[in-house]
Amino acid sequence: MSSKYRSPVLDRRGFVKIVSSVVGSMMAAIVGLPAVQFFISPALRKTTEDEWIALGALENYPRDYPTLFNFTLTKVNGWERSSHSYGAFVFRKSGGDLVVFSDVCTHLSCRLSWDAERKVYFCPCHAATFDQDGKVISGPPPRDMDRYETRLEGDQLLIHLREG
Ligand code: FES
What would the pLDDT profile of 119-143 be if each residue is shown by its tens digit? 999 999 999 999 999 999 999 999 9
H helices of 6-121, where?
Answer: 12-44
Average pLDDT for 70-77: 89
For the chain, the 3-state helix, strand and coil shares in percent, each to the nearest 5, are 25, 40, 35
Q: Residue 7's Cα: distance from chain center in Å?
A: 65
Average pLDDT for 2-27: 78
28/152 Cα distance (integer angstroms): 53
Closest CA to 130 of 63, 70, 142: 142
Expressed in angstroms and rounded, the spacing between residue 138 Cα and the centre of ligand 1 is 10
Angle in degrees, CA 65, 150, 162, rounded to 5: 115
Given this model, what pLDDT does residue 16 score? 87
Q: Which helix (H) or strand (E) holds 160?
A: strand 156-162
Return the ligand 1 atom nearest residue 126 CA: 3
Is 110's C-beta closer than 6 angstroms to any atom of ligand 1?
yes
Return the ligand 1 atom nearest residue 140 CA: 3
Given this model, what pLDDT does residue 29 score? 87
Q: pTM of the prediction?
A: 0.71
Given this model, what pLDDT does residue 133 score? 95
Interval 78-108: pLDDT, tens: 788 899 999 999 999 988 899 999 999 999 9
* Minimum CA distance residue for ligand 1 atom 3: 126
Given this model, what pLDDT does residue 77 score? 80
Count the neighbouring beta carbons within 10 Å of the beta carbon of residue 146.
14
Average pLDDT for 58-70: 96
